[in-house]
Amino acid sequence: MTALNDAINRRDALRLLGAAAAWTAVAPTPSAAQADIKAFNVHVDNKDLADLRRRLANTVWPPDATGTPWSMGTDLAYMRQLIAYWKDKYDWRAHEAALNRFDQYTTTIDGQKIHFIHQKSRRPDAIALVMTHGYPGTIWEMLPSVPALVDPTAHGGTAADAFHVIVSALPGYPFSGEPADATNSRSSSALPFPAHRRARRESLAQMKSARITRASTSTTCGKRRISASKAASPSRWLTG
């Protein structure tokens, strides 16, 4: 058991995940679909922000719903507070600057414009790690973890745990393009790295095989313990 646990340690598992997800680890030569990678910075015009505030101010509110708050949908009082915060207190420029502290790019994959962050570690042999969001999230929710992943020594970790981090936005989410026809959640999640789906499947199959091996070993050891216990006190097993 000890030898098996040592063979399947955390570092090896992370290497499998990195190899499965990142094009830099699997194919150093970019494919044709990734040849148009361009640097990107977030910037929203002042006129667009002013238009948003104007539309928020002109919200037509429905009457209060009957019943207790939230029993028939979003609570109206809560929604009013949220819109007021968004219109009067939310600092878009501060959040825009926070996004622009990361290295951002866009590219086109299978006809889809993809926006992503590629934050490199100072450690050249760092594992490449890809993170994607789901519905209804965005890449913003993952950004707090990026600095620690890229530079673990600055956050109480060790240099050997460093990652090159890629955070991609799915089609239809800022700042990727609109979804193409016949796009679904499964195909969208595979878009950032279409050339490496096979490598990902193979790596996941290795991890699944390792889990099955560990489970089988644990079951065998458990059976041996039960057999030993029965031999030591057979009357307990016979009487229930």
Token representation of residue 104? 């951002």
- Residues 68-87: what's their mean pLDDT? 93
pLDDT at 76 over 50: yes
pLDDT digits 0-9 by tens, 96-119 = 999 999 999 999 988 899 999 999
pLDDT of residue 1: 41
Mean pLDDT estimate for the chain: 75
- The label of the residue with tokens 């991609």 reads 168
Q: Which of 98, 128, 116 is nearest to 28 (CA)?
A: 128
pLDDT of residue 191: 54
pLDDT digits 0-9 by tens, 117-164 = 999 999 999 999 999 998 889 999 999 999 999 999 999 999 999 999
User: Which residue pairs, CB below 8 angstroms and at least 24 apart, start in 45-50?
Assistant: 49/92
pLDDT digits 0-9 by tens, 184-214 = 555 555 555 444 444 445 555 555 665 655 5
Higher pLDDT, 48 or 23: 48
Calpha distance 190→16 (Å, rounded): 17
Q: Given pLDDT bands bounded at 50, 70 and 90, which one contains residue 20?
A: very low
pLDDT of residue 211: 60
Please give the CATH architecture assigned to the domain spanning 30-196: 3-Layer(aba) Sandwich (3.40)
Q: Domain map of the chain by residue range?
A: 30-196
pLDDT of residue 214: 57
Lowest mean pLDDT, pick from 42-46, 82-86, 218-222? 218-222
Q: Given pLDDT bands bounded at 50, 70 and 90, which one contains residue 65?
A: confident
